[in-house]
């Protein structure tokens, strides 16, 4: 199955009325029409939004599963939890919010009264709010501390990772998690710089990277030269790939038969994890191909739904450039 740009028609060039309100509030939910279409939240159904963020998707789910459907919203970021809980307070106890890493989705869902659900959404990565917050260090322009943790109470900030790692470790990190072609050159420049002065802000790191990489052939590149380095650091600091793999396993166990999992990824490493997970659960059996009959007894537990991956429409990308790299995958829980 190839990927496909989705051509859901938009009612006007500015998008649906929801879009205007959400833009004013700072974050446009990505592929929201597709998410609602795939999750199809009906009245009385239970959903989990594992990446609550600004609550854009959750708002639409709560509207669709009214009057008695419920949503459990999770986010590792205490600021997102506080802001979105206030924004969506009008839904009362139909929305339950927990500040947690979604690695704990299984235990948190059971504790919160969501042991079996009809849909789970993961809209990975970071929100426009986080990118805009100076003190979080996610942006190339941030003059505040280079932190990059979704949950500033857990793990170590990016500035510490940079201060502690050797040239080899940084090279490996930028290659593996950023697919950065100039990884070693950048790692050397960072280590040289930190001997003069600690690298404490996003703006400082971006300047070091910019000086270290050769100018792109044929003029300006479409992306900032520090994009891959920032991506690699953010993934490492938040253990994003490990946590995603763990959470997918537990999410599957929470789905009722017929329940759907929707994941939106923004870079190929994450998307590959989702793709392989769905493929493995679609196959079920893990016996080597040389075995004449199955001896593992594992049955398929997921069925992919729709195009894999589904891409945002051109109209959405024009309206919300952040959606450009989104890849959505949906799978349905089988009875096994």
Ligand X SMILES: C[S@@+](CC[C@H](N)C(=O)[O-])C[C@H]1O[C@@H](n2cnc3c(N)ncnc32)[C@H](O)[C@@H]1O
Which positions touch ligand X (CB under 6 A)?
27, 29, 51, 53-57, 74-77, 80, 101-102, 123, 125-127, 150, 243
CB nearer to ligand X: give 146 or 213.
Answer: 146
CB nearer to ligand X: give 54 or 69.
Answer: 54
Q: Which is it for the CA torsion 108, 109, 110, 111, positive or negative?
A: positive
DSSP E strand stretches across 94-247: 95-99, 117-123
CB nearer to ligand X: give 212 or 330.
Answer: 330
DSSP 116-143: SEEEEEEE-S--HHHHH-GGG--STT--
Residue 50 · residue 120 · CB < 8 Å: yes
DSSP 287-319: S-TT-SS--S-PPP-EEE-SSSSEE--HHHHHH
CB nearer to ligand X: give 70 or 322.
Answer: 322
Residues 258 and 332: their CA atoms lie apart, in Å, by 6
Tell me which residue of 237, 239, 238, 178 sits closest to 213, measured CA to CA. 178
SS3 191: helix
CB nearer to ligand X: give 148 or 255.
Answer: 148
Min dist. Cβ of residue 141 to ligand X (A):
19
Indicate the residue whose CB is closest to ligand X.
53
- Write out the H or E segment, with its range, that includes residue 263: strand 255-265
Min dist. Cβ of residue 244 to ligand X (A):
7
- Write out the H or E segment, with its range, that includes residue 250: helix 240-254
* First-residue to last-residue Cα distance in the chain: 24
For 55: left if phi > 0, alpha if psi spans -120 to 50, otherwise beta; the answer is left
CB nearer to ligand X: give 81 or 226.
Answer: 81
CB nearer to ligand X: give 145 or 152.
Answer: 152
Min dist. Cβ of residue 24 to ligand X (A):
13
Min dist. Cβ of residue 284 to ligand X (A):
27
Min dist. Cβ of residue 211 to ligand X (A):
31
CB nearer to ligand X: give 53 or 157.
Answer: 53
β 327-333/255-265 pair status? antiparallel
Min dist. Cβ of residue 21 to ligand X (A):
12
Min dist. Cβ of residue 110 to ligand X (A):
17
Q: Among all chains, which residue has been given the structure tokens 């089988």?
A: 334
- Write out the H or E segment, with its range, that includes residue 226: none
Min dist. Cβ of residue 259 to ligand X (A):
19
């Amino acid at each position: 199955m190839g990927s496909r740009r989705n051509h859901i028609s938009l009612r006007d060039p500015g998008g649906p009325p929801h879009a205007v309100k959400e833009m004013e509030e700072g974050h446009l939910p990505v592929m929201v029409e597709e998410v609602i279409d795939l999750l199809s939240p009906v009245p009385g159904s239970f959903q989990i939004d594992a990446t609550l963020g600004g609550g854009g998707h959750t708002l639409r789910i709560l509207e669709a599963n009214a009057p008695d459907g419920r949503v459990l919203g999770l986010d590792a970021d205490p600021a997102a939890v506080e802001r979105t809980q206030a924004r969506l307070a009008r839904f009362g106890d139909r929305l339950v919010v927990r500040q947690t890493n979604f690695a704990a989705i299984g235990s948190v869902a059971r504790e919160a009264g969501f042991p079996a659900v009809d849909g789970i959404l993961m809209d990975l990565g970071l929100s426009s709010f986080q990118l805009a917050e100076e003190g979080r260090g996610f942006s190339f322009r941030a003059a505040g501390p280079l932190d990059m943790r979704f949950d500033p109470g857990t793990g170590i900030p990016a500035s510490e990772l940079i201060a502690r790692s050797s040239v080899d470790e940084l090279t490996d990190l930028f290659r593996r998690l950023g697919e950065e072609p100039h990884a070693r050159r950048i790692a050397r420049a960072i280590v040289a710089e930190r001997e003069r002065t600690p690298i404490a802000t996003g703006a400082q790191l971006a300047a070091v990277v910019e000086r270290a990489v050769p100018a792109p052939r044929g003029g300006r590149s479409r992306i900032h030269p520090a994009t891959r380095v920032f991506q690699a650091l953010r993934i490492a600091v938040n253990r994003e790939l490990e946590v995603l793999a763990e959470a997918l396993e537990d999410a599957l166990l929470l789905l009722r038969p017929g329940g759907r999992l929707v994941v939106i990824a923004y870079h190929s490493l994450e998307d590959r994890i989702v793709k392989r997970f769905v493929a493995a659960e679609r196959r079920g059996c893990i016996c080597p191909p040389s075995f004449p009959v199955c001896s593992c007894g594992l049955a398929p537990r997921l069925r992919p739904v729709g195009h894999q991956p589904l891409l945002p429409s051109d109209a959405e990308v024009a309206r919300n450039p952040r959606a450009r790299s989104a890849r959505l995958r949906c799978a349905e829980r089988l009875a096994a």
